[in-house]
Amino acid sequence: MITIIGAGKVGGSAALFTALKKLDDQILLLDIIDGLPQGEAMDINHMLSEQGIDVEVKGSNDYSEMKGSDIVVVVAGSGRKPGMTRMDLLKINTGIVKSVVEKIKMHANDSVIISVTNPLDPMTYICYKISGFEKNRVIGMGGMLDISRFIHFIHEATGYSRNSIKALVIGEHGENMLPLPRFSSVTGIPLTSLLPKEKLDEIVNSTKQVAAKVIALKGATIHAPGNGISTIIDSVVNDRKQVIPVTTYLNGEYGYSDVTIGVPAVVGRNGVEKIIELDLNEVEKDVFKKGIESVKNAISSIEI
């Protein structure tokens, strides 16, 4: 069973994509708001029925129903409002995530946790520390969302098929994210040989800024994060060993320890099975360091 805690827009989207990909026979939507997860589950089940997809989605307010879950997705928390940074959410969501993880420990102690609540990197750190799980069993979703945006802007700039584009974004999921043109390509052709530096800089900046634009226009980002969550679930459930950017706990990798931040990793049945260390240049190292410092500063300001 796959459990998604938080049945709002992102949680509902994650449940929908997970069901459409048939990643488990049972999906549980949990929320403290009476009626919300039940209604969301009904809506999704009606769509699945017409599609002939035999996945059962259940909504509940009872955390004990997650017992035996293989994967638990933590989406619970306050959403980012227009004008807010992810770090503005820090104090609001720290208490919520701590409480949720305590319940995961109680009812689904053998699960893999996928952290989604913002600010993503510090909340993933809280999930890791409060759960006491091995570090490979706690995964943050941020990089999957960031690369979806990066790929879109590369597609717009080149006109080439999205299916031909491979992109990479690491670092903090926020203002100090690090889109990497040097490690991105179109069917193996380096992006840096296809576009001039000025255009690459424009794409990088657009990738960093677009979340705030989406939030200003429609109030929240929904479908891209929902899909990103399902991609990570797919790699775990089907042991795909995909190399994807996820937030994970560093213990000496990239020269940093006791911090959770986005890096490329092999994701399979055991969660984060290997962290891949890139040979970053000095400019890239500087941006990555700023992200580390931002996350560490956030972590230091919360009580765990």
Q: CA-CA distance, 179 to 254, in Å (whole number)?
A: 17
Q: Is 155 a catalytic residue?
A: no
The three-state secondary structure class of 109 is coil
Cα(211)–Cα(192) distance, integer angstroms? 24
Residue 233, number of CB atoms within 10 A of its CB: 27
Coil, helix or strand for 154? Answer: helix
Asked if 157 contacts 203 with a C-beta cutoff of 8 angstroms, the reply is: yes
Question: In this structure, which amino acid lies at residue 287?
Answer: V
Which residues, 6+ apart, have CB-to-CB distance to 91 below 8 Å? 302
Q: Where are the beta strands (DSSP E) in the chain?
A: 2-5, 26-30, 56-60, 71-74, 112-115, 138-140, 165-166, 169-171, 177-179, 185-186, 189-190, 242-251, 257-268, 271-275
The residue among 50, 57, 52, 47 whose CA lies nearest residue 15 is: 57
Q: Are 30 and 66 in contact (CB under 8 A)?
A: yes
Indicate which residue of 107, 152, 155, 173 is catalytic. Answer: 173
Q: Mapping DSSP to helix (H, G, I), strand (E, B) and coil, where does residue 130 land? A: helix
- Residues designated catalytic: 173
